[in-house]
Structure 1
Amino acid sequence: MGVREGFEELYGAAPEGVWAAPGRVNLIGEYTDFNEGFVMPLALPHTAVAAVSRRSDGVLRLHSADIDGPVVELRVDELTPRSDTGWAAYPAGVVWALREAGHAVGGGADIHLASTVPTGAGLSSSAALEVVTALALDELYGLGLTRPELARLAQRAENDFVGVPCGVMDQTASACCTEGHALHLDCRDLSIRQVPFDLASQGLELLVVDTRVKHALGDGAYAERRAGCEEGARLLGVSHLRDVAYEDLDTALARLSDERVRRYVRHVVSDDHRVDRVISLLDAGDVRAIGPVLTDGHASLRDDLRISCPELDLAVSAANSAGALGARMTGGGFGGSAVVLVESTDVDSVTKAVTEAFAAAGFTAPRVFPAVPSAGARRIG
């Protein structure tokens, strides 16, 4: 059953519209967003889809086709951060963030959701839910939000309502990406550049290896690393690690006595530099040369940030051993997915090598699929 039909069955009338917002993979630049650095995500074809209608009585009704359970019914004027509403906290948090920002959404809404973005795979399934809700309400209530404003409100929903201290990359990617491009995002001023990333024309593919190891960013490990980065910035006398130049990294590290903070600073500053390297290579048309940069990024995430896991490390090593041009984990870590840059002719052999390596290690079989740079959030019906 489609989302529109599901809405009609639930709520007894046709929705006013249907919207979609994608998940994302991040090509390069990890844990740099909350350090006001640089990231380079691309939208996936996998989307969260929402059928939505306005209400006038202040009631917010939420339902997911993907999760067993009844309609969640809340009141817009009673929405409270950190309330235990499970999956519904993501769309409810958006309504709360809009309300708190002074936008006229007090009438409420009926929302029915379905998503093809794999959950727990580091592909921003939560951001897709937030952005699709924000876009639908923006259009229905005539709020006039820009896409960066919409992304910021969705981020606030996750930070302050749900309680996950994520940066703004995931929501911006879902809201702003365009088909056939990667998004170069400056997380300080939210300026964006659409970078052509047509791999097919180069005889290349970017694969996602979903390790099936579920990660949860609310477990404290993400927040601990964010706090460590903020401590590093404080000790170095800068507002954010973005302000530490790569050329000055060794000098900066020599000033830090805490080994853990030193590792975090080294990762963030070097990953910002890796984003710059990837941009330069893509601008020069040398797409294959970004492969080793991806692999370097994985080593930094594994050794300095220490957010990898055995399955991610195996995905990267098995893919590279089988002839991939480069690979790295993507997303928040502790599970989730890796991205692998491969020649189109090597897709089957690399996929086979990774799958066999997982089987030999006794791991759950991974899910491997192409990451096709796709469109951001949009109305579809």
Structure 2
Amino acid sequence: MINASRKSASGQAHSKLILMGEHAVVYNEPAIAIPFNTLSVTSIIKPHIGKVKFISQFFSGELDQMPEKMQGLVECIKAVCQKLNQSVRDFQIELKSSIPIGRGLGSSAAIAVSLVRGLYNFFNEKLNHDALTMFVDLAEKYAHGTPSGIDREATTHNHPIFFQRNQQVEEMEIGKPLHLVVADTGRIGDTHASVASVKQQYQQNQHVTKQRIERLGQLTRQARQHLETGRIKELGQLLDEAHSELRALKVSDPGLDHYVKVSKAAGALGAKLTGGGRGGCMLALVDSVKQAKIVEAALQEAGASQTWYCKVANEVMSYES
């Protein structure tokens, strides 16, 4: 029976940007991620008699009718209910998200984080980080096959993080504010496929692929030093080199490469893809708000479907779209 006293509840999570280390992080190399608060997702849970009803821009209907690509969320919902000794019925989930799907911005992790938080709030239970990790990883396995955990951590932290698998996540302080421009190709990237592709390359040509992955790890460690000491110009050079390594791993594509070139020609200090690649988004590092506007205009003229300016600082992180 539905609990008549139960009230609506919600859970939120924000998007993320990977500054350095995507793909290499799967192989235990470090990565740096930044919270991207301008894009977020909210899960609203309400009492609803009968089977669980799901409402979103992707699918609306009963839980047992959700498409295969959303089965990770189904398993996540069931696991939360089982953990809390609650029946998988008598509630409705409404998902409101501004995060573009399949763009390497952490949409699947953010949705899962908001969903778990919302369910715990709905059932009036306290959620700890270990439980959140377990449930989000369950959902992420359906989205990415072998999730590194960086999306989960980046969508739950409010500061830049230095992430390495099986190690404590470190929040970072930066020596000088970062000015970033993010551009969306408008094309869905397939993180699962790109991760699988790198894995195949690793199996077929381990020596070369391992060298590239280890180089990405070295670049990430150097990037941390430059971030913490405010050496922005040097950081830009590392972004360029990282993109070259990602191209060599065949996870970029002509569209992303074009936007990287456009950004550089417009005065960016460095630019690279962000996330899984093969579509999705790229980011460019600039030295000022004025330069950001120039780069953003160039990317829009080059055909970017969406662009955002993002300033990252220790005290305040501001975002505009």
Q: TM-score range by the shorter chain?
A: 0.7 to 0.9
Tell me how far apart the structure 1 counterparts of residues 221 and 253 of structure 2 sit (CA, whole Å): 26
Deviations, residues 65-102 of structure 1 (Å, cap 9, x unaligned): x24x542233xxxxxxxx962564343232244367x4
- For 1:299, the equivalent position in structure 2 comes to 244
Aligned-pair identity in percent equals 21
In structure 2, the CA distance between the partners of 1:309 and 1:92, relative to structure 1 (3 Å rule), is: same
Shift of 1:282: 2.0
Residues 20 and 48 in structure 1, CA contact (< 8 A), matched pair in contact too: yes
Matches within 5 A, 1:225-240: 225-226=198-199, 228-229=201-202, 231=203
Tell me how far apart the structure 2 counterparts of residues 371 and 92 of structure 1 sit (CA, whole Å): 33
TM-score (norm 1): 0.72
Tell me how far apart the structure 2 counterparts of residues 41 and 26 of structure 1 sit (CA, whole Å): 4
Tell me how far apart the structure 2 counterparts of residues 334 and 316 of structure 1 sit (CA, whole Å): 13
Residues 49 and 113 in structure 1, CA contact (< 8 A), matched pair in contact too: yes
- The answer to whether 1:351 aligns with 2:290 is no
Shift of 1:173: 1.0
Report the secondary structure of 1:71's partner residue. Answer: strand
Give the alignment partner of residue 187 of structure 1, picking from 161, 165, 168: 165
- For 1:271, the equivalent position in structure 2 comes to 216
Shift of 1:56: 8.8
Shift of 1:40: 1.1
Residues 97 and 157 in structure 1, CA contact (< 8 A), matched pair in contact too: no
- For 1:222, the equivalent position in structure 2 comes to 195
Q: Unpaired segments of 5 or more residues in structure 2?
A: 316-321
Residues 103 and 280 in structure 2, CA contact (< 8 A), matched pair in contact too: yes
Q: Unpaired segments of 5 or more residues in structure 1?
A: 1-12, 75-82, 232-257, 359-363, 376-381
In structure 2, the CA distance between the partners of 1:18 and 1:84, relative to structure 1 (3 Å rule), is: closer
Matches within 5 A, 1:317-332: 317-332=261-276
Tell me how far apart the structure 1 counterparts of residues 304 and 48 of structure 2 sit (CA, whole Å): 45
Give the alignment partner of residue 49 of structure 1, picking from 42, 45, 58: 42
Report the secondary structure of 1:333's partner residue. Answer: coil
- For 1:9, the equivalent position in structure 2 comes to none
Deviations, residues 192-211 of structure 1 (Å, cap 9, x unaligned): 12113486xx4x51111111
Q: Which moved more, 1:364-373 or 1:261-270?
A: 364-373
Shift of 1:294: 0.8
TM-score (norm 2): 0.84
Deviations, residues 220-247 of structure 1 (Å, cap 9, x unaligned): 3422323554x4xxxxxxxxxxxxxxxx
Report the secondary structure of 1:278's partner residue. Answer: helix
Q: Which moved more, 1:286-295 or 1:331-340?
A: 286-295
Residues 18 and 51 in structure 1, CA contact (< 8 A), matched pair in contact too: yes
Shift of 1:142: 5.3
